[in-house]
Structure 1
Amino acid sequence: MANRSGTGGLALGIVSATCFGFSGPLARMLIDAGLSAVQMTWLRLGAGALALLAVGLLLRPRDLVVPRGHRWFAVRYALVGFAAVQGLYYATVARLPVSLASLLEFTAPVIVVAWLWLARRVRVPASAAVGAVCTLLGMALVTEVWTGLAMDPLGLVLGLATGVTAAAYFLMTQSSGERLPPFTAVTWGLTGAALALTVPARPWEIPWEVLAGDVPAAGHRVPALLVLGWLVLVTTLLAYFLNLAAIRRLSAAVGAPVAALEAVASAVLAWVLLGQSLGPAQIAGGLVMLAGIVVAQRAVARLTAPRAPAPAENRSSREKAAR
């Protein structure tokens, strides 16, 4: 049974990572067609929120209620995990190749390691340091720093900011105690983020005619509404719930490389759909960077894993000593 559960979790994780991998390429298609990055973010999150709210009201109204003790966490979950991470990621996608934008987002585990070491004085394993060095080396190769940093500097800053917010979101969820049910968390995460981005997105200025037309994809033209529908239903809703199901079945050692497949999927899909490709040095740098991210992610999983409760005998003796 445990083996089948692990195999099922692995399959769910791979499918989830592939679904998430569509996010950058499909968003770039709509951004190139005339939408701004923040408008693209608002449309994706808002449409996903409406879909889940409708399902909740019709089928699961109790799951839409956020317990009083978790309301502040729900607000932070929406603002950091959805509005900030997704908004910054799409702003990066608008300026950099999708593959690099995804890799920069996945620097989050390295940033978490640095935070635990510098701010919390946690002793990190040597593997975490190796992972950080590999990530930095790979980033230097991908951005080709010897050419004078030909990549868009603002795009690189936005990409690193995406990694920082993703790291903050991870640390926030780790210290939040008991979490919300998945349906409740995702529904209000999407809803809160869409509301927060309404003013900067200025939906009254969205060029809606873009969604009524076609956009280029892999040498063909496809309806823009089909692209947006895939982004909402597959890349957002299906991907999030498959990811939550996979996390429950996978160990940290397996989950880290499976999650990192999203960056690989993004690179492959950007090449197929957008014709974006990297040079040999950049591909080598991406692989080195990805290896460093996986190593750092596994180290973070070990550092932040909840400790097993003390045996009853030891706990009882400590309680007596305390008295």
Structure 2
Amino acid sequence: MPQLIHRPYAILILVVTATLFAGNHISARIAFEHDTGLLLAILLRGLTALSLMLIIAYRQRASFAIPAGQRFWVFSLGILIALQSLCLYSSIVRIPVAMSLLLVNTWPMMFILASWIMGKRQPDALTFGLLFFILVGLALVLDVTSLGNMTAEKQIGIILGLLAALFLAITMWLTQYHLHALPGSVRSAYTMMTVVAVMIIAGAMDWVPGGLKVPQATEGWFGLLGLSILYGIAFTLLFVLAPRLDMGRNSPVLNFEPVASLFLGFVFLGQFLLPMQLVGGAIVIAGILAIGFKGQ
């Protein structure tokens, strides 16, 4: 077993990683505001992550052979990540980045509910209470009393954010219960291969009009480059150091991502949430952290 990094440093690394992920989404919004195609952004991000995963797998001398019984699940994982990426980036285009990320970070709640329904875990009163606590916070973030007055674009953005969370929850389910035996670098490489292939096919078939459109301004190119580099660094940092970060204990720290996006979104995009929405966001993050650390 690899030697664990001292916990304060592990938490710092996870905070930096969450901030890099948030920066990736801020860069994506900048790229999209300058007419960058949705598919092109996901394609370039996927190619960057795939290249890094192939390098890691090669250095680890990992075998790329997939047991026959797991090939379907590996392919399904790639499709789900492709759909999750499309939904998340489509949500970011329509609503503030922080709101999108708060919606996506409800996936642990969906995972827990699915675990109860499928009989993988036994319900308990404390977790149920925390889930209700998160739902109250989410209602404040979404300002549910004014949903009927929101534009159709914002309503679609909220739905897409929740769909992104759903796809991510299913992805985590498959990883934990069907693909846990497959080496992480190999699983990630095949996942990114599928994502890249889906984006190329979708672009060639014009399933998303203008999906492969290049940026129309220098800022768009910087956004496109930024989202690829930041995602690649964060993804690789998390993957390489995960065995030493005691993720079973410290992974809830990654929920710092929406907090980082609030600051970055204000600085680079001029986005902000209403005070009550900020309170709701704090409730959501606190609830998710409580669930993550419960029983540690």
The TM-score normalised by the length of structure 2 is 0.84
In 2, the alpha carbon distance for the partners of 1:119 and 1:182 equals 25
In 1, the alpha carbon distance for the partners of 2:38 and 2:218 equals 18
Q: What is the CA-CA distance between 1:51 and the residue it aligns to?
A: 5.8
Contact kept, 8 Å, 2:88 with 2:160, in 1: the verdict is yes
Partner residue, 2:64: 65
The answer to which structure, 1 or 2, has the higher relative contact order (CA under 8 A, 6+ apart) is 2
Partner residue, 2:29: 28
Aligned counterpart for 2:193 among listed residues 191, 195, 211:
191
Q: What is the CA-CA distance between 1:7 and the residue it aligns to?
A: 3.6
2:115 paired with 1:112: no
Specify the code of the residue in structure 2 equivalent to 1:73.
W
In 1, the alpha carbon distance for the partners of 2:283 and 2:46 equals 32
In 2, the alpha carbon distance for the partners of 1:207 and 1:234 equals 21
Partner residue, 1:181: 183
Identical counterparts, % of pairs: 21
Aligned counterpart for 1:288 among listed residues 279, 283, 290:
283
Partner residue, 2:79: 79
2:268 paired with 1:268: no
In 2, the alpha carbon distance for the partners of 1:129 and 1:102 equals 22
Contact kept, 8 Å, 2:4 with 2:246, in 1: the verdict is no
In 2, the alpha carbon distance for the partners of 1:184 and 1:3 equals 23
Distance 1:66 1:129, change over 3 A: same
Partner residue, 1:92: 91
Contact kept, 8 Å, 1:110 with 1:297, in 2: the verdict is no
Specify the code of the residue in structure 1 equivalent to 2:256.
L
Once the two structures are superposed, residues 221-247 of structure 1 have per-residue CA deviations (whole angstroms, 9 ceiling, x without a partner) of xxx333322322222x22112223454
Gaps of 5+ in 1: 216-223, 303-323
Aligned counterpart for 1:225 among listed residues 221, 225, 237:
221
Aligned counterpart for 1:255 among listed residues 236, 251, 254:
251
Once the two structures are superposed, residues 42-78 of structure 1 have per-residue CA deviations (whole angstroms, 9 ceiling, x without a partner) of 332234435655x479x64954723334433332232
Once the two structures are superposed, residues 11-37 of structure 1 have per-residue CA deviations (whole angstroms, 9 ceiling, x without a partner) of 321221111111221111111111243
In 2, the alpha carbon distance for the partners of 1:127 and 1:208 equals 49
The TM-score normalised by the length of structure 1 is 0.78
Once the two structures are superposed, residues 115-141 of structure 1 have per-residue CA deviations (whole angstroms, 9 ceiling, x without a partner) of 122332732222321221122111111
Contact kept, 8 Å, 1:143 with 1:149, in 2: the verdict is no
Specify the code of the residue in structure 1 equivalent to 2:129.
V
In 1, the alpha carbon distance for the partners of 2:52 and 2:248 equals 31
Specify the code of the residue in structure 2 equivalent to 1:66.
A
Partner residue, 1:45: 46
Gaps of 5+ in 2: none
Q: Which has the larger radius of gyration?
A: 1
Distance 1:275 1:76, change over 3 A: same
Query: 4+ residue stretches of structure 1 with deviation over 6 A?
Result: none
Contact kept, 8 Å, 1:39 with 1:203, in 2: the verdict is no
Specify the code of the residue in structure 2 equivalent to 1:184.
V
Distance 1:228 1:121, change over 3 A: closer
